[in-house]
């Protein structure tokens, strides 16, 4: 078994797909140490030749792994070198898809990013909205939101909102439960009116305590007892207003964003898919 392995992501566009694919696979081998490098926007044979030369020089004799999303067969062939292990997404899927559809693929790199300018406009608007409605700001404009995240301080609201905006184009706002909200077990009218698109975030108290301790060492705010009390109060508020709850403990932002989208009905859950078969 290899103790370490060099991983290279090559793409004729941003490389996001190659990275996501590769990392979703190599994470299944935690006992192996991986060195990863990305090479996006490989457009010409010259680009490809320079990149494979760099890879071979740096990883001589170690049979590096290349995850490729190159569309051009000519460029893909350059990386199909006997001294590397090439995992070629387009070679595996695009050719088979052409056969299934009985049609020829365009062969244009990053084509989907040029199809719909409207989706980019929506994403930019979502990012602006997210930044302008962070941490309870302008909550009188929550009627414009696609999703509202609710939770105690440091439960992970802001990073998830940013992901929802930047990757999913959703106008995401977040509201921190203050001591007044927690002690009175109540929410502002603006949140009550929009509770159908509101999702509560919770987290393990020990994790919350650790996060808070890093920010405010030795404070009452970071004590585990304080965290437990606030999380219990928040849970009662979620139950009172019938707000679905997502636990952020030990989960990736991508996973959280997907579940949150399901909770507000943007994506169907597996159990609802079964029920809709008839």
Handedness of CA 271, 232, 256, 196 (dihedral sign): positive
pLDDT tens digits along 136-193: 999 899 999 999 999 999 999 999 999 999 888 999 999 999 999 999 999 999 999 9
Do both 59 and 161 map to the same domain? Answer: no
Question: Is residue 269 scored above 80 in pLDDT?
Answer: no
CATH number, domain of 265, equals 3.40.50
Do both 250 and 143 map to the same domain? Answer: yes
Tell me which residue range forms the domain holding 76.
4-101
Q: What are phi and psi of 138, to 5 degrees?
A: 50, 45
| Structural domain total, the chain | 2
pLDDT value at position 35? Answer: 95
Count of CB atoms within 10 A of residue 200's CB? 25
In a domain, 149, yes or no: yes
Of 251 and 61, the one with more pLDDT: 251
**H or E segment to which residue 66 belongs:** strand 65-68
User: Do 134 and 161 touch, CB atoms closer than 8 A?
Assistant: yes
In a domain, 75, yes or no: yes
Of 40, 75, 101, which closes a domain? Answer: 101
Question: Is residue 273 scored above 60 in pLDDT?
Answer: no
Do both 151 and 271 map to the same domain? Answer: yes
Q: How far apart are CA 233 and CA 229, in angstroms?
A: 6
pLDDT tens digits along 102-136: 888 777 666 555 445 567 788 889 999 999 999 99
pLDDT tens digits along 192-244: 999 999 999 999 999 999 999 999 999 999 999 999 999 999 999 999 999 99
């Amino acid at each position: 078994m290899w103790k370490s392995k060099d991983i290279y992501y090559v793409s004729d566009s941003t490389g996001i797909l190659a990275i996501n694919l590769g990392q979703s696979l190599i994470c299944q081998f935690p006992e192996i140490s991986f060195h990863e490098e990305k090479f996006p926007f490989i457009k010409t044979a010259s680009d490809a030749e320079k990149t494979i030369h760099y890879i071979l020089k740096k990883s001589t004799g170690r049979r590096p792994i290349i995850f490729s999303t190159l569309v051009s067969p000519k460029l893909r062939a350059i990386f199909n070198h006997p001294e590397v292990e090439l995992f070629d997404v387009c070679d595996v899927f695009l050719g088979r898809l052409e056969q299934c559809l009985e049609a020829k693929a365009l062969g244009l790199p990053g084509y989907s990013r040029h199809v719909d300018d409207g989706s980019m406009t929506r994403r930019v608007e979502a990012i602006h909205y997210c930044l302008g409605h962070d941490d309870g700001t302008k909550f009188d404009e929550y009627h414009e939101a696609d999703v509202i995240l609710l939770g105690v301080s440091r439960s992970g609201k802001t990073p998830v909102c940013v992901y929802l905006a930047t990757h999913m184009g959703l106008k995401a706002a977040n509201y921190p439960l203050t001591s007044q909200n927690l002690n009175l077990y109540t929410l502002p009218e603006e949140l009550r009116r929009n509770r159908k698109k509101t999702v509560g975030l919770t987290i393990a108290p020990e994790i919350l305590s650790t996060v808070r301790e890093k920010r405010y060492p030795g404070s009452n705010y970071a004590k585990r007892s304080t965290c437990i009390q606030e999380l219990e109060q928040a849970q009662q508020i979620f139950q009172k207003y019938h707000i679905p709850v997502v636990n952020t403990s030990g989960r990736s932002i991508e996973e959280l964003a997907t579940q949150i989208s399901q909770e507000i009905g943007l994506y169907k859950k597996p159990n609802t898919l079964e029920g809709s078969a008839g």
